[in-house]
Structure 1
Amino acid sequence: MPTEKTFHFLHEPGNPLVLYNIWDAGSAEAVARAGAKALATGSASVAGALGYPDGEAVPLDTLLHVVARIRAVSDLPLTVDFEAGYGETPGEIAGNAADLEDLGVAGINLEDGMPPENGIRPAAEHAERIAAIRARTGLFINARTDLFLQNPSDTHAALLPEAHERAAIYAEAGADGFFAPGLTEPALIGELCRDCPLPVNIMASPAAPSIAELAGLRVARISFGPFPWRDAMASLTQAASEQLGQGA
């Protein structure tokens, strides 16, 4: 699809695609008005906005409805946080991904963490899922590793060789990008970007380097994960508190 090709070429090491994550059609319109080049959902944000916990608790049909509403209000390339694929077998997961592609989605995140945070899937098993999606769709597959997210920062340097190994395996299976949320140390990010066979996606967070610093480290994609939704909800709570307090 044209949006898939456009989305692919937006990933440029040193000139990163910045994705300010959304959770519904309204937030999609707001971020599009701000000048976004593409849109990206965050699983925790979508779940929280619907009253669900993160970790594939949102029914797949509900997720597809949310995606359809986002596509109805914006024709920007859209990537969907697909968590672990909403299925047990590679074929089932590939079918689910094809349903997203049919809605006009350009890309997905597919994580090797087993939701909700029940460890890391073997790399070969995750690669089978990537390969099945690649055989069925033209989606930009952003292969996410939860190595850094599920382990404390003082272990990240020791985990980097495994991250490199997983990136190579995922690339061979057909992935288009490598997402390493939780990795925040500039030297380690730079090393990952230097040796990774895929464009690297880093999650912006209070602990992460700035966008300019990440660009200098050759990051190709920066996403904000759940933080925009959390900030929006905190602002809403604060504003409501101020107004409701006047009537006390």
Structure 2
Amino acid sequence: MQIKNIFDHSSPPPTGERFEPLHSQPGLTIERIISSPRIAHTEYSQPQDEWVLLLQGEAKLDVAGETIALQSGDYLFIPALTPHTVLEVSDGAIWLAVHIGGGYSVNAQLQTKKILVQFSVGALRSISVLYAAYMEMQMNFDTLHQQATPLLLCNVWDAASAQAAQRANYQAIGTSSAAIAAMLGYPDGEALTFAELCYIVDRMIAACDLPLTVDIEAGYSRNPAQIAEHILALAARGVVGINLEDSIVSDQRHLLSIDEFCANLSQIRRILQLKNCSLFINIRTDTFLLGKKQALQETIQRGLAYQAAGADGLFVPCISSAADIAAITAAVSLPLNVMCMPELPDFATLQALGVKRISMGNFVFAQAQQQLSHLFSQINSTQSFTQVFENAHCG
């Protein structure tokens, strides 16, 4: 991504305003604006939500009847179709305007604000555009699957657990669909709605700076085009990867055929490519989870097929045998993701076996809930809060 010095001086034209596009993609456009006092009392109304950052100069705006004074480094959010007028502006003022649309504007505000806030005026002397910041996070997440040491992914379920992962110095976080479902009182298996999932994702992104990958189970649809739209909605929020599984839950969980799932995956990947969306697609195959008789052979067969259909990684939950893991890494070149299990080898052994990603699933959440239940029981049985403060780490 080319770095632009957005402080380069360029005199405003006689009309008093110069617009210089920096980046454009569906749902996100970024431009630099150089203005002069000649534009005073010009009224605007954008069809998209807009973040405006004043990089240099001073200005005074009327936004829906409210007068707002801005100095260098100040920014504000202007909702779509909100009338706003420039009342005063210094000569040669430089703005960065970020327009967000595509149906995901309300939630994309959080990620946009977070990236803008990270830059002080001094740091803005030479920055890439907002999209470059997201792409850097995306590329870093992809690279984490190619390092010698496996990526230890911290599975989280809310903003607090995401923040705990960041304090513990994890490199990335991923949602646990089972943990989120349990937290909201649902059974596992797409019982919660996609809108509810998006709300949890928004809170995580607002609270934590780590790259986030989201478990979308079977996609919250049986239509590949709709699944692709769900993925695009997550990407617009700043999500860098997703998990998509090859089984669905009706009365019972069952595997889709290889041909059907590959056809769906290929269509999803094509749609994402048309939208310039390249987030990491980690495909979960449930051969071991469902106890298939020829689980190892079928896993290899599915892994090779999924790679050809556009997968970036292969997730095999419930595998624990070192011999089985070695056989898969030898046969399938996709980064292999294994999950916390009682018999899973230690991390050094997994690295030697060629594993590239280790996740926790629902087990850490379940253990935390057991400890919470035990604490609640002790408070009730002892009629005292003593247990709350024994071995507590406060502050």
Give 1:212's aligned residue: 348
Letter in 2 for 1:54: D
* Structure 1: tracts of 5 or more residues without a match: none
Letter in 2 for 1:55: G
Counterparts of 1:115 and 1:13, CA distance in 2: 34
Letter in 2 for 1:31: A
Contact 1:13 1:215 in 2 (8 A): no
Give 1:146's aligned residue: 286
TM-score when scaled to structure 1? 0.94
Give 1:26's aligned residue: 160
Counterparts of 1:109 and 1:37, CA distance in 2: 17
- CA drift of 1:48 comes to 0.5
Q: 1:165 and 2:305 equivalent? A: no
Q: Identify the structure with the greater strand proportion.
A: 2
Q: Identify the structure with the greater helix proportion.
A: 1
Q: Deviations over 1:187-213 (max 9, x none)?
A: 111111121120000001112112222
Q: 1:121 is matched with which residue: 251, 256, 269?
A: 256
Q: 1:12 and 2:152 equivalent? A: no
Counterparts of 1:14 and 1:2, CA distance in 2: 20
Q: Deviations over 1:27-58 (max 9, x none)?
A: 00011110010010111001001111100001
Instruction: Give the 5 Å matches for 1:103-114.
Output: 103-114=237-248
* Structure 2: tracts of 5 or more residues without a match: 1-134, 385-395
Counterparts of 2:308 and 2:142, CA distance in 1: 17
**Secondary structure, counterpart of 1:171 in structure 2:** helix
- CA drift of 1:130 comes to 2.1
Q: Deviations over 1:139-187 (max 9, x none)?
A: 10001100000116xx4xx322221111111111111000010111111
- CA drift of 1:14 comes to 4.6
Counterparts of 2:159 and 2:301, CA distance in 1: 37
Considering only CA atoms, is the larger Rg found in Structure 1 or Structure 2?
2
**Secondary structure, counterpart of 1:63 in structure 2:** helix
Letter in 2 for 1:114: I
Q: Deviations over 1:50-98 (max 9, x none)?
A: 1111000011100000001100011211000110001121111111111
**Secondary structure, counterpart of 2:255 in structure 1:** coil
Give 2:70's aligned residue: none
Contact 1:94 1:129 in 2 (8 A): no
- CA drift of 1:134 comes to 2.1
Give 2:227's aligned residue: 93
Give 1:196's aligned residue: 332
Describe the shift of the 1:31–1:229 C-alpha distance in structure 2 as closer, same or farther (beyond 3 A): same
Letter in 1 for 2:314: F
Contact 1:193 1:200 in 2 (8 A): yes
Q: Aligned-residue CA RMSD in angstroms?
A: 1.5
Moved over 6 A (4+): none
Counterparts of 1:242 and 1:170, CA distance in 2: 49
Describe the shift of the 1:190–1:13 C-alpha distance in structure 2 as closer, same or farther (beyond 3 A): farther
Letter in 2 for 1:113: S
- CA drift of 1:13 comes to 6.4
Counterparts of 1:70 and 1:59, CA distance in 2: 17
Contact 1:15 1:218 in 2 (8 A): no
